[in-house]
C-alpha cells in the first residue's frame, strides 16, 4: 500500500494544536493592543496639557501686541479683557480653554480623537505658579 497523504487523525491533531496556540496568543495580542491605545491616549492628554501651559505662559508674558488678547476676546469670549493686565487677571481667576482653541492657534497640531477643555489658572505671581488641569479631557481609542 502506498501512503502519500495525511490521515484524518493527523489533520485534526494539527487543527487542534493551531486552535490551542491561537487561544494562547490572541488574548496576549489583544491586551497589548489595548495597552498601546491607552498609552497613546495618555500621551495625547500630556501633549494637550503642555500646549495649554504654553498658552498660559504666553498670557503671562503678554505684551501690547500679543495675539493672546485676540484669543481671549474673540475665541474664548472674554470681552472684559482689554489689555495684558486684564489677561493676567483672567489667568489668575481661571480660564477654560477648549482643545479646538489650542489647535486653531497652532499650540498643538491635532488632538487624536480627544475632546473637552483645559482649566488654566495661576496660583501666585510667578510663571512657575501656572497650573493646568486636564481632567476634563477624554480621548477615544
Strand 138-139 relative to strand 95-98, pairing: unpaired
pLDDT in tens, the chain (141 residues): 567 788 889 999 999 999 999 998 888 888 888 888 888 889 989 999 999 999 999 999 988 778 899 999 999 999 999 999 999 999 999 999 999 999 999 999 887 788 999 999 998 778 888 999 999 999 887
CA dist., res. 54 & res. 35, Å (int): 29
Domain boundaries, the chain: 8-139
**Cβ atoms of residues 101 and 115 within 8 Å:** no
CA dist., res. 135 & res. 107, Å (int): 19
What is the value of pTM for the model shown?
A: 0.76
CA angle 82, 89, 110 (to 5 degrees): 85
Amino acid at each position: 500500500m502506498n501512503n502519500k497523504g495525511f490521515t484524518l487523525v493527523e489533520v485534526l491533531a494539527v487543527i487542534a494544536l493551531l486552535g490551542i496556540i491561537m487561544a494562547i496568543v490572541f488574548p496576549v495580542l489583544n491586551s497589548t493592543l489595548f495597552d498601546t491605545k491607552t498609552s497613546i491616549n495618555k500621551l495625547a492628554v500630556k501633549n494637550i496639557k503642555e500646549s495649554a501651559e504654553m498658552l498660559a505662559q504666553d498670557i503671562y508674558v503678554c505684551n501690547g501686541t500679543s495675539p493672546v488678547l485676540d484669543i481671549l476676546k474673540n475665541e474664548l469670549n472674554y470681552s472684559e479683557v482689554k489689555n495684558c493686565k486684564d489677561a493676567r487677571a483672567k489667568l489668575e481667576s481661571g480660564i477654560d480653554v477648549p482643545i479646538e482653541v489650542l489647535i486653531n492657534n497652532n499650540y498643538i497640531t491635532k488632538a487624536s480623537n480627544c475632546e473637552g477643555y483645559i482649566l488654566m489658572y495661576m496660583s501666585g505671581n510667578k510663571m512657575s505658579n501656572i497650573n493646568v488641569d486636564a481632567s476634563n479631557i477624554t480621548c477615544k481609542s
